[in-house]
Structures are given as C-alpha cells and as structure tokens.
C-alpha cells in the first residue's frame, strides 16, 4: 500500500506531508458543462431567471468553492490561492464553465479548479431549476496543470 500517497503503511487514510517539497508556481485549468433546454439557456443568457443573475452568482460560488476545497474534500491541503478565474459561457443549449486556479506552493491546485467548476455548475442548476429540472451536469475534467515535481500536463483527450 506504500504506493498510494494518501494511505499510511497500515492502510489508514492520511494527508500527504508536503513540508519538504519545493515551492513552485502551479496552475490548473478545469472545465465542465451543464446542458439544458433552449428555454432555460435563453433565460440565463437574457437575464430573465427569477432568482437573479445566474452567471454572476455562479461565478462567485465557484470562486468561493475553490477557496474552500480543503473543507469539502478530505485530505486536501488548505492553500493560499493567488489566482482564481471562472469563465461561464452560455450558448443555445447550456453553459460551459472553465476555472483557472494558481498559487506558489508545495502542492497542486487541480482539486480547487475542479471544485470551482463543479460548484459553479451546481449553482446554475439551483438558480434555473424552476425552468428546467432535467438539466444535466457533466464532462467535468482537468484540462491542464503546470508546476510541481511531475511537471506540466495537458489533457489530450478532450
């Protein structure tokens, strides 16, 4: 079990000790999408959702979630993030969210980027569910990451 970094010698869960790792500039980009009816997409795009400005609220929710990732995902380190951007792009059948998260530190920010996207899309669902309860959240994935011992990585599969 020693090959699994989040398990100790006896198989118990643990948070990885990153204290001896070098600080490097790290960034991660994640994306995801919520698909919906044309009616819901138009209401979001045109600012006609009764709960308010869906994209603005979802953007703030995603940014807040990135900052709270260690409170939501067991064994994630609390991080002093230096950058969080969250782009929400509506189209005729849904909204695509893309988050970029960065810091200078000893561990990566992939989970923070994925959390930002996930919570932003859940917020879109919450705010527009009165129009379309059948919305589908999916295709949440890491797009790229830079920095750290393992170096840069780009998702070539989508």
What pLDDT digit, counting tens, does each position of 81-99 carry? 999 999 999 999 999 999 9
In 10 A of CB 29, how many CB atoms? Answer: 21
Confirm whether residue 23 is marked as ligand binding: no
What superfamily in CATH does domain 24-146 come from? Answer: Molybdopterin cofactor biosynthesis C (MoaC) domain (3.30.70.640)
**pLDDT > 90 in the chain, percent:** 78
Per-residue pLDDT reduced to its tens digit, 122-142: 999 999 999 999 999 999 999
Active site residues: 126
| 76 labelled binding-site residue | yes
pLDDT tens digits, residue range 95-115? 999 999 999 999 889 999 999
Question: Can you tell me the distance from the alpha carbon of 78 to that of 96, in angstroms, rounded to the nearest whole number?
Answer: 27
Average pLDDT taken over every residue of the chain: 92
d(CA 108, CA 155) in angstroms, rounded, equals 16
- Domain borders along the chain are 24-146
SS (H, E, C) 37-98: CHHHHHHHHCCCCCCCCHHHHHHHHHHHHHHCHHHHCCCCCCCCCCEEEEEEEEECCEEEEE
Q: Answer yes or no: is 111 a known binding residue.
A: yes
Q: Can you give the pLDDT at residue 22?
A: 76
What integer pLDDT is reported at residue 114 of this predicted model? 98
53 or 23, greater pLDDT: 53
Residue 6 labelled as part of a binding site: no
State the Cα–Cα distance between residues 54 and 31, nearest whole angstrom: 18
Residue (of 78, 67, 65, 81) closest to 123 by Cα position: 65
- Count CA atoms closer than 13 A to 54's CA, side-chain side: 30
**Model pLDDT, residue 157:** 83
Which residue's structure tokens are 């919906």? 36
pLDDT number for residue 23: 85
What is the length of the chain?
A: 158
How is residue 44 written in tokens? 């979001």
Q: What is the pLDDT of residue 110?
A: 96
């Amino acid at each position: 079990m020693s090959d699994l970094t989040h398990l100790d010698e006896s198989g118990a869960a643990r948070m990885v000790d990153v204290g001896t790792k070098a600080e490097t500039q790290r960034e991660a980009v994640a994306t995801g999408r919520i698909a919906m009816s044309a009616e819901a997409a138009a209401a979001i795009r045109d600012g006609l959702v009764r709960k308010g400005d869906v994209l603005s609220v979802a953007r703030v929710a995603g940014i807040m979630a990135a900052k709270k990732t260690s409170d939501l995902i067991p064994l994630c380190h609390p991080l002093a993030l230096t950058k969080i951007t969250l782009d929400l792009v509506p189209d005729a059948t849904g909204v695509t969210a893309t988050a970029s998260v960065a810091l200078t530190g000893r561990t990566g920010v992939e989970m923070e980027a994925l959390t930002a996207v996930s919570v932003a899309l859940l917020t879109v669902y919450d705010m527009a569910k009165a129009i379309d309860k059948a919305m589908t959240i999916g295709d949440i994935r890491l797009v790229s990451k830079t920095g750290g011992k393992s170096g840069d990585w780009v998702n070539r599969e989508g």
